[in-house]
Homo-oligomer: A and B are copies of this chain.
């Protein structure tokens, strides 16, 4: 599976450059679930409400990108990152990583005040829980700063699992959710558990995108008056 390619940056992205922009840095990440189609709504709503005080970057897995018709053109989003960006070193003569070069997943983790993975697919949930990190999104999650400094609340990762009802009912799901909920820096927005007549749609569906927006507002200190 190949992920779409964004134009190479003229110089590498570093967290330091943006450390004094006085904005809340929101890293919105999507995985390969149908609920990825809600990304433009979440991004545009937050951006309209907090335009001047909020900066939104997006990470897409290669599966997630397949749900968007214009993955690199999402209203309200400052930058969209995909796996290729992690390995792109156009500022270098060698084209491979050189000593001193920034490492993208580390820079993004430093840059981000909060990460939201919505939707979180069954597959990516399993990988986060197992500590696997074979793509950019998972590398940011694996490299998250989980040590809380005294006097600080720490940075959060909010996850919104989204999957088919049968996937949700599979016994591994409960184990994975239990692990995620045990990790203090994680906030799990459990799926809505409405069981529909057809039996298959319902439990497992991602929480309403408005709930996700509200949780971001609550946890970020952003508010309409800011």
User: Interface of A with B (CB < 8 Å)?
Assistant: 1, 34, 37, 63, 66-69, 83, 87, 94, 96-97, 99, 103, 106, 109-110, 122-123, 125-127, 130-134, 138-139, 142-147, 163-164, 166-167, 169-173, 175-176, 183, 200
Contact B144–A66 (Cβ < 8 Å): no
Smallest beta-carbon distance A152→chain B, Å: 13
Contact A166–B183 (Cβ < 8 Å): no
Contact A122–B131 (Cβ < 8 Å): yes
Which of these, B110, B142, B167, contacts A143 with CB under 8 Å?
B167
Report which residue of A68, A138, A170 has the largest number of chain B beta carbons within 10 angstroms of its beta carbon. Answer: A170
Contact B143–A132 (Cβ < 8 Å): no
- CB nearest neighbor in B for A71: B96
Please report the C-alpha to C-alpha distance between residue A139 and residue B166 in the assembled complex, in whole angstroms.
11
The interface residues of chain B lying within 8 Å CB-to-CB of A106 are 164, 166, 200
The interface residues of chain B lying within 8 Å CB-to-CB of A167 are 142-143
Which of these, B94, B170, B171, B183, contacts A69 with CB under 8 Å?
B94
Contact B166–A144 (Cβ < 8 Å): yes
Contact B122–A176 (Cβ < 8 Å): no
Given the interface pairs A126-B133, A166-B146, the reply to whether A183 lies near B171 with Cβ below 8 Å is yes
- CB nearest neighbor in B for A200: B106
Please report the C-alpha to C-alpha distance between residue A1 and residue B172 in the assembled complex, in whole angstroms.
28
Residue pairs across A and B with Cβ atoms less than 8 A apart, 21 shown, are A1-B87, A34-B99, A37-B99, A67-B96, A67-B97, A69-B96, A106-B164, A106-B166, A106-B200, A122-B142, A123-B133, A123-B134, A125-B131, A126-B131, A126-B132, A127-B132, A130-B172, A143-B163, A143-B167, A145-B166, A146-B170
The interface residues of chain B lying within 8 Å CB-to-CB of A103 are 34, 164
Smallest beta-carbon distance A221→chain B, Å: 23
Contact A173–B97 (Cβ < 8 Å): no
Report which residue of A103, A110, A200 has the largest number of chain B beta carbons within 10 angstroms of its beta carbon. Answer: A200
The interface residues of chain B lying within 8 Å CB-to-CB of A63 are 87
Which of these, B96, B126, B143, B163, contacts A130 with CB under 8 Å?
B126
